[in-house]
Structure 1
Amino acid sequence: MMVNLAQLLPDARRKRYAIGSFNVYNYETIRGVIEANNELGYPAIVAFGENYLTNMTVDEVFALVDAMSKRVKIPLALHLDHCKSFDHIVQAIKAGFTSVMYDGSSLPFEENIKQTAQIAAIAHAANVSVEAELGALAGGEFSNEESGEEIYTNPEQAARFVAETKVDALAVSIGTVHGMYKGTPKVDVEILKKIAAQVDLPLVLHGGSGTPEEIVKRCIRNGIAKINVNTEISLYTIEKVKELLQSGKAYHLSQLACKEVDYVKEVVKKYSTMFRAI
């Protein structure tokens, strides 16, 4: 069953658990994310980033997710992740995505409000939920995104931003990074608490890969209802495929593809279980 974030996340914030949002790039990753959560019995968020439009079109992603959704019993959201392009957001909505993220975090505050509000109005008219971002995350190792200066989310600005844009979820910057951490994670849960006191809608944590479990759980207890995981899926799967190729055994490409699905499922199950065990 295809749903949007507005149907999934409020319950997660209210009951203090989080739903994993897992980035996909091809058939194997899509299948791995959906099968792993279906086996656990948890809702799934399949996230396709604007950066991966060189891998697949939004129509191709929707067709695969839509077909697989008919074979599972869990609620399933198809989310366009970290999109800065108005045209790409419209394309995803037309394709059948149930949720989009407009990333105006690099814009001046007033312009971020203006652009996000316009996109929210368009998306909501199509029953598509909207995530936005306030503040900016730094880039860690193995990040495929541009590394910018980290800017923590301002709690007072967050309250005004949510009120004026009417978004369904807000991604916050509190010290996590895109990619893997280069050093010891310094996640400021106190800032998160202040944001959560000002904003009652579901909050989103980007940069879940490698974030220590105890920090993750503290974040969930303080308003985080959606956590993005990307880099670890890629790194783990590549490392495991390397081991297979170096084992001396000959593999057909079709066999490697099935192995990739299994490796993706291992990472997804690890985090989906963690996000529920609060």
Structure 2
Amino acid sequence: MLVNMKEILLDAKLNNYAVGSFNVYSYETIKGVIEAGKQNNNPAIIAFGEKYIKNMDFESVYALVNNLSKDTKVPFALHLDHCSNLENVYKAIRAGFTSVMYDGSSLKFEENVENTSKVVEVAHSCNVSVEAELGSLAAGVDSNEGNLEDKEIYTSPAQAEEFANSTKIDALAVSIGTVHGMYKGVPDIRVDILKKIKEKVHIPLVLHGGSGTPQNVLKDCIENGICKINVNTEISVYTIEKIREMLNDNKKHHLSEVSLKETEFVKEVVTKYMKIFK
């Protein structure tokens, strides 16, 4: 069943676990995430990024997610991920998304507060939750979200407190050393900064860049306030590699078979992280 993301994250915060936010781009990826949630009896956030509008429109994404999740009591949220275009935020809300992320992290602090507050006013009137971001993640290997020129800017705990109080957002994405994509070297995750943010901010905190982050680090982040963890790149990299292996076996394959395998491979990655986040 589709629910407001706030409902899922508040339970995660109360019971000290994290919920995976898994990026989707097609019917097969949507089905993979939902089937993993059903089989593991685990809530999940189905994230559709602004840059994937070229793959599917908002209405089609909503229709598929709503149809595939309506026969289960497992809660799912349909979330607009990393959207800096206000028009697209409002389109997603109208289409039926139950959560949106307005990403004004590249703007000046005051402008980010102003725009985010506008989104909150509209979204909350429609029973839609809002995530926002402070700080900036660098781009790693195989990233489809960040840019090579992106620089790591750690989230200021003091600004995080002011931002959350001023905007009334439901979740805050923080920058503590993770990257968009896979790591180029050994990650240096600043859990010390996260602890300071947790002391000042009392809404669920979000970690972007979950792909490839060591399991012990993820566990440490969850212990210190992270309630939502984004996974995108690993879904793509793993699925592409498995399909490549499949197509190199010197057998003829029908496209319908490849489609089914794609869903299976997505489920494997999603299930892996669901078990880690608990």
The answer, yes or no, to whether TM exceeds 0.5 is: yes
Match of 2:85 in 1: 85
Alpha-carbon offset, residue 71 of structure 1: 2.5
Q: Which of 208, 211, 215 in structure 2 is aligned with 1:209?
A: 211
Alpha-carbon offset, residue 15 of structure 1: 1.4
Structure 1 residues 116-135: Cα deviation after superposition (integer angstroms, max 9, x where no partner): 01111110011000000000
Match of 1:182 in 2: 184
Matches for 1:130-145 after TM superposition, within 5 Å = 130-145=130-145
Alpha-carbon offset, residue 51 of structure 1: 1.0
Alpha-carbon offset, residue 73 of structure 1: 2.5
Alpha-carbon offset, residue 5 of structure 1: 1.4
Structure 1 CA distance for aligned equivalents of residues 261 and 157 of structure 2:
44
Match of 1:221 in 2: 223
Structure 1 CA distance for aligned equivalents of residues 35 and 72 of structure 2:
8
Structure 1 unmatched ranges of 5 or more: none
Amino acid at match of 2:271: K
Matches for 1:238-249 after TM superposition, within 5 Å = 238-249=240-251
Q: Does 1:38 align with 2:26?
A: no
Match of 2:274 in 1: 272
Match of 1:108 in 2: 108
Aligned Cα root-mean-square deviation (Å): 0.6
Amino acid at match of 1:121: E
Amino acid at match of 2:4: N
Match of 2:169 in 1: 167
Structure 1 residues 122-165: Cα deviation after superposition (integer angstroms, max 9, x where no partner): 10011000000000111101011323111000000000000000
Alpha-carbon offset, residue 70 of structure 1: 1.3
Structure 1 CA distance for aligned equivalents of residues 183 and 52 of structure 2:
22
Q: Which of 197, 200, 207 in structure 2 is aligned with 1:198?
A: 200
Alpha-carbon offset, residue 72 of structure 1: 2.4
Q: Which of 260, 263, 268 in structure 2 is aligned with 1:261?
A: 263
SS of residue paired to 1:144: coil
Aligned-residue identity in percent: 60
SS of residue paired to 1:80: strand
Amino acid at match of 1:37: G
Match of 1:23 in 2: 23
Structure 1 residues 80-124: Cα deviation after superposition (integer angstroms, max 9, x where no partner): 000000010010000000000000000011111111011111100
Amino acid at match of 2:255: L
Q: Does 1:233 align with 2:229?
A: no
Give TM-score, length-normalised by structure 2: 0.98
Structure 1 CA distance for aligned equivalents of residues 124 and 193 of structure 2:
29
SS of residue paired to 1:53: helix
Structure 1 CA distance for aligned equivalents of residues 111 and 87 of structure 2:
18
Structure 2 CA distance for aligned equivalents of residues 33 and 264 of structure 1:
7
